[in-house]
Structure 1
């Protein structure tokens, strides 16, 4: 599947085919969401209009997907000529938001609805004729026919013309300067018009409900087409990214435990940073499954680890990756322990959160997992932190055999490269000039010999008197024969296996729910004789 997606991305990049497809995709709405609303019979008039406009773009979209590598997508995009014809005839070009007040169904779609609409809208011509006739008959020049929602249709005259009003006029309302009347003919027309309007709206709502029934047989095909269009949209985004950011096609291998990246970059930081991003290589094989990463703060250790994980994720999505070359083996899961944050709501300290996440990794990681560990053990004492970091790194490399990127400031951990066959050291480079540090952001083989903590503190704006006092204290600590680095015994490369207790194993193997009290007593007697 992934190689199929890589082929599709390459096809989209050829002759900039993705540019034309993006224009078609911009005009296509979220068909899947509209189909869901149709299934629930809650779609609005503009949903039908958007569906109509989207279906009209599908033939052009399929025509521009002519490459063989895209055929697996175009085969899933069906044609909906019948449904498109119904929607073109049924829905006006720009329908209102709701069906409540009508005005959604197009003229010519239903003869009965057109007849009712003509009757309702034709009232204007009739009223104009009635007004002109009554003016001539009564001789009242101020006479006019009007309408409001409270009193309906009425004939209005000024009070000055009140003596000319015919006796058949029935007074409906008296105003300050006018009188309003009704006549039987106007009342009959009002009943006919209002009935026509109500019937027109009821007929339109019935036709609108019928559109749901027209669409329901096409729901499955629409959902499949929407899924294919969504995947095509994603692949177009991948192609755009690959062209604009110079991504390469990764080579996937079936071998697990392999990750080789040449000139790899962080896909987010290189876009956000104003400075040119410094690419780095990464090589993880069966003999390099644990990389112990050392170097100064702000040197780029976390970025180096994160970009490796992001590249693996992108490759397993079917996307090209930010590197010159990439060879990636099978990775089942990615585990991370990066950053420092507490969980006040749950009453967990920073160190507790760190250990909880570490425990999850140690319990669930496999030999096919990629693990990122950033400065494990820094939240507690030096002895405890270093011991835990050593043991965790040893467990990951020796027992779990994961691909592990392990960043640390405990330089003692670099000894693991000499004790474990599948471990090696790398470091991020930095240079010091006139008591100032320059970060090179390049990764080289071997371990770092300094952390440059004081220089980073100075760069952060810590007062000079504090820095000078820290230098003196550092010199004192380094000269002490019982410094923490010299005292911590880390000679053992493997943790002794716990002693197996046969009695405990036998007890744990019992199915107590299936034993009677007598059987339990007999079992205890047998064990007492054995032990």
Structure 2
């Protein structure tokens, strides 16, 4: 017998041939099994036992795991980037069926997960497609678990790549070779990007009612969105019924936060990778999955238009006026499930009865939330209460929630919902009772008290008798199976009962599936309405979170508008203040305008410089997501981008040193900054030699300062020599973190004030850290020697006019004439008098240039 003649192996190979690029999980009873190379891989990767079984003449490698614990294994496989195809049993196994029908019911990759247990409830799970063209780059994204499709366009590759990094996309495909975070992106066939084909895909998916809207879309957007839907449908065997809209996101109305800024400000995770005590962790008060996802997404792409921001402020003010209602709102929101994902599972026919019970209870609470929203007069689009009540009623009259919540997966329809269903259920129960009655009758007839009637999918119903009672077995019993301590029998009466029971059960299960399919179909009709409900809940929850946070932490409503001035009075770091509640946070102010656009911040380590830098960037960010801010008063200009360059960020795996990484980040900032940007630069130049670093820091300060529309910039440095630039750069102001010195120790006051620091107090910090006295004393002597050379540097810097790196082209030409005059002079053969005369001539020419 050959392998292909073994039915189950033949079935496996037929399914595998259609999913050759996937790990195929093949259901066999209560296990998912893998065969051949798949088995060898998951055995090694998941650290589970590799076995083998004879199929025909060959032994086939096998490895598997129980279905009840499958999610933990599937999660590991998906997170590793593997594509998983799940072949389930498509019919109930019984002794009359030699080979159960099987087929792939689900294909899983990192970006196409629908399973609730594999998803993070407060985080979207985006799949992205990039369409790179000579004119523009387009990115279309899909969260298959919610049905959301967004489309974006970009002018350059780098902006697109940074968007993809910041969005935390789970899976990406492209029409061109591409690397994101040093990972190769999968390039898919060019045929997916044919305009006519993509237009047809969108027309067929959305129908004729959307055709005019599709025609108005830019050709590149049509290609990117059509290719996305086509690829997902074809590759993952899904109809994408949950996708009912494509939303174009105009990034010109959004603040841009690049991936480096998200990392430096610790928005989603701390520098050690932990979520706890990150910015999001500290400010998240949302109670629902929809609210949590809304908060995460607005942090990735804040508003850059004041109407949306002010609308949020006004809603927070209205909630604060009736703050006592927030307790009731909190309780209601806490009992709302993931309506958005349940809705998507309904229309994609993946919803379980438990999902429907969850939806019903969530919608009941939503109606009460809607009443509170009316009471608060919030400026939010209302839900259609009649439709919500209708959906609640549909579920309520059909599903018996007690059966579902008790873990029942069958017979979950309520009595009275369908007469035929009720009749078959009663028949099934009566037949089951007959079995128990027969067991009692057989015990009396045989005198075997431990006789029992059982059931298995292989044998059906059987009578089990222990070996010690085999001498009492009646003649009408037919032996079917011998076990170690007992034997199993059947008789004609039991066979008849089995036919009646199985027939009733089969008919009951069939009608239950039909009724459930009809129920899902009926609920799918309300998909758009339930999508609006989920959006409503997300917005209310987000506002609840904002209001609670503002109230608990004494935040204020900032003034925001299209002006240049930035004023934050007594600002506080939102994370440190919350994490260290038992310690008093020292507030600090910041004022910048068109005559004060660059702040040079000096001070020793541990004095609070980095806190000051981050807190001001975070306060600006908070204002742009529509949240009140931790300050006494704030006036925040609309800011198109926040740039940060903080800390060492070498990447040896990319062959990039700390200094190169620093320069690359600075280059990105300088290339993309505008007058409306806010820039935070910390310790620029420290990754190279002192004078190289000082020169570069100096040059960057001058460049930013001298721009016609210079962005607001906070520049922290240990190069105290740079403070001398104040005499040359009128828009630059010096500020310092105050320190008080007592004898040989220092106290950090954590207060940022006008002025500059002449010392870094590094030796004092070293003493506080416990460095041996011999080392710190020696360091003090070396410092004294180095300070002499530092004074020479400062003297040179005071004459900034002669060292300015950014002059006009006419000035450069005149200086080049002087340089040429000096280079051509034979200085070695000049007499002392000739030298003095020559120097005087050079001096007069320089003075004339300065006068001009």
Which of the five TM-score ranges fits, normalised by the shorter chain?
Answer: 0.7 to 0.9
Partner of 1:372 in structure 2? 680
Alpha-carbon separation, structure 1, partners of 2:489 and 2:729: 104
Alpha-carbon separation, structure 2, partners of 1:418 and 1:179: 102
Partner of 1:115 in structure 2? 423
Q: How does 1:238-317 map to 2 (within 5 A)?
A: 238-255=546-563, 257-273=564-580, 274-317=582-625
Partner of 1:10 in structure 2? 317
- Tell me, what secondary structure is at the counterpart of 1:276? coil
Alpha-carbon separation, structure 1, partners of 2:723 and 2:488: 103
Matched, 1:64 2:372: yes
Q: How does 1:73-112 map to 2 (within 5 A)?
A: 73-75=381-383, 79-94=387-402, 102-112=410-420
- Tell me, what secondary structure is at the counterpart of 1:65? helix
Alpha-carbon separation, structure 2, partners of 1:172 and 1:435: 97
Alpha-carbon separation, structure 2, partners of 1:209 and 1:82: 18
Matched, 1:334 2:642: yes
Matched, 1:452 2:761: yes
Task: Quickly say closer, same or farther: Cα 1:134–1:383, change in 2 above 3 A.
Answer: closer
Matched, 1:389 2:697: yes
CA contact (8 A) 2:681 2:715 kept: yes
Alpha-carbon separation, structure 2, partners of 1:356 and 1:392: 13
- Tell me, what secondary structure is at the counterpart of 1:244? helix
Partner of 2:327 in structure 1? 19
Alpha-carbon separation, structure 1, partners of 2:432 and 2:778: 95
Partner of 1:495 in structure 2? 806
* 2:716 aligned residue (401, 407, 411): 407
Instruction: Quote how far apart the aligned CAs of 1:364 are.
Output: 0.3
TM-score (norm 2): 0.54
CA contact (8 A) 1:258 1:328 kept: yes
CA contact (8 A) 2:431 2:500 kept: no
Alpha-carbon separation, structure 1, partners of 2:662 and 2:481: 83
Number of residue-to-residue matches in the alignment: 492
Task: Quickly say closer, same or farther: Cα 1:429–1:145, change in 2 above 3 A.
Answer: closer
Instruction: Quote how far apart the aligned CAs of 1:218 are.
Output: 1.1
CA contact (8 A) 1:45 1:98 kept: no
Instruction: Quote how far apart the aligned CAs of 1:186 are.
Output: 4.2
Partner of 1:148 in structure 2? 455
Instruction: Quote how far apart the aligned CAs of 1:147 are.
Output: 3.7
Instruction: Quote how far apart the aligned CAs of 1:224 are.
Output: 1.5
Task: Quickly say closer, same or farther: Cα 1:418–1:106, change in 2 above 3 A.
Answer: farther
- Tell me, what secondary structure is at the counterpart of 2:401? coil
- Tell me, what secondary structure is at the counterpart of 1:13? helix
Listed one character per residue, the Cα deviations across residues 43-84 of structure 1 (whole Å, up to 9, x for unaligned) are: 223222211110111211111123454142435777412211
More deviation in 319-328 or 413-422? 413-422
Alpha-carbon separation, structure 2, partners of 1:242 and 1:451: 37
Larger RCO (alpha carbons 8 Å, 6+ apart): 1
CA contact (8 A) 1:96 1:103 kept: no
Alpha-carbon separation, structure 1, partners of 2:704 and 2:750: 26
Partner of 2:544 in structure 1? 236
Partner of 1:466 in structure 2? 775
Instruction: Quote how far apart the aligned CAs of 1:294 are.
Output: 1.1
* 2:706 aligned residue (398, 416, 420): 398
Instruction: Quote how far apart the aligned CAs of 1:421 are.
Output: 2.7
Task: Quickly say closer, same or farther: Cα 1:303–1:189, change in 2 above 3 A.
Answer: same
Task: Quickly say closer, same or farther: Cα 1:322–1:79, change in 2 above 3 A.
Answer: farther
Matched, 1:440 2:749: yes
- Tell me, what secondary structure is at the counterpart of 2:770? coil
Q: Which runs of 5+ in 2 are unaligned?
A: 1-307, 812-852
Alpha-carbon separation, structure 1, partners of 2:699 and 2:534: 50
Partner of 2:340 in structure 1? 32
- Tell me, what secondary structure is at the counterpart of 2:397? helix
Instruction: Quote how far apart the aligned CAs of 1:449 are.
Output: 2.5
Alpha-carbon separation, structure 1, partners of 2:340 and 2:567: 39
CA contact (8 A) 1:77 1:229 kept: no
For the pair shown, the structure with the greater C-alpha radius of gyration is 1
Listed one character per residue, the Cα deviations across residues 338-371 of structure 1 (whole Å, up to 9, x for unaligned) are: 1112101001111111111000000000000000
Q: CA RMSD in A?
A: 2.9
Alpha-carbon separation, structure 2, partners of 1:131 and 1:308: 78
Partner of 1:524 in structure 2? none
Runs of 4+ in 1 over 6 A off after TM superposition: 97-100, 131-136, 174-179
Instruction: Quote how far apart the aligned CAs of 1:472 are.
Output: 0.8
Task: Quickly say closer, same or farther: Cα 1:172–1:113, change in 2 above 3 A.
Answer: farther
Instruction: Quote how far apart the aligned CAs of 1:398 are.
Output: 1.5
Partner of 1:503 in structure 2? none
Partner of 1:511 in structure 2? none
- Tell me, what secondary structure is at the counterpart of 2:369? helix
Task: Quickly say closer, same or farther: Cα 1:179–1:242, change in 2 above 3 A.
Answer: closer
Task: Quickly say closer, same or farther: Cα 1:129–1:494, change in 2 above 3 A.
Answer: closer
Alpha-carbon separation, structure 1, partners of 2:486 and 2:782: 101
Task: Quickly say closer, same or farther: Cα 1:98–1:490, change in 2 above 3 A.
Answer: farther
More deviation in 323-332 or 469-478? 469-478
- Tell me, what secondary structure is at the counterpart of 1:292? strand
CA contact (8 A) 2:623 2:629 kept: yes
Matched, 1:197 2:505: yes
CA contact (8 A) 2:347 2:521 kept: no
CA contact (8 A) 2:319 2:376 kept: no
Q: How does 1:171-186 map to 2 (within 5 A)?
A: 171-173=478-480, 180-183=489-492, 185-186=493-494
Instruction: Quote how far apart the aligned CAs of 1:337 are.
Output: 0.5
Alpha-carbon separation, structure 2, partners of 1:478 and 1:135: 104
CA contact (8 A) 2:725 2:800 kept: no
Q: Which runs of 5+ in 1 are unaligned?
A: 501-531
CA contact (8 A) 1:77 1:228 kept: no
Partner of 1:517 in structure 2? none
- Tell me, what secondary structure is at the counterpart of 1:340? coil
Task: Quickly say closer, same or farther: Cα 1:114–1:425, change in 2 above 3 A.
Answer: same
Instruction: Quote how far apart the aligned CAs of 1:120 are.
Output: 1.2
